């Protein structure tokens, strides 16, 4: 239920306050990584693989809002089994 409410709230943030939208997306990304017990390096590696980035990812800051949204969706689908991979 809360995920649906947050997603509905994010739709309006895209136009009104893109900075807050980025902050919310980053919170969702790091929150999911913590729940999967992933390290920061594992999260950055996952982002590089799933977003098909050619350069090494050292930070999520330079990623676009669309890339962050894609990463949120991919992280929600990720399971704990992918931690060992």
Tens-binned pLDDT, residue by residue, of the chain (85 aa):
676 776 666 666 666 778 888 998 999 999 999 999 999 999 999 999 999 988 888 999 999 999 999 999 999 888 765 544 4
CA 64, 50, 4, 37 torsion: positive or negative?
negative
E strand or H helix that includes residue 30: helix 18-35
Name the pTM for this structure.
0.78
Instruction: Return the pLDDT at 84.
Output: 46
Residue 65 · residue 21 · CB < 8 Å = yes
Instruction: Return the pLDDT at 81.
Output: 54
């Amino acid at each position: 239920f809360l995920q649906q409410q947050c997603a509905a709230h994010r739709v309006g943030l895209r136009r009104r306050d893109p900075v807050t939208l980025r902050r919310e997306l980053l919170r969702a990304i790091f929150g999911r990584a913590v729940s999967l017990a992933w390290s920061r390096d594992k999260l950055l590696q996952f982002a590089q693989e799933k977003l098909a980035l050619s350069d090494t990812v050292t930070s999520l800051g330079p990623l676009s809002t669309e890339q962050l949204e894609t990463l949120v969706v991919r992280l929600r689908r990720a399971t704990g089994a992918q931690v060992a991979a």
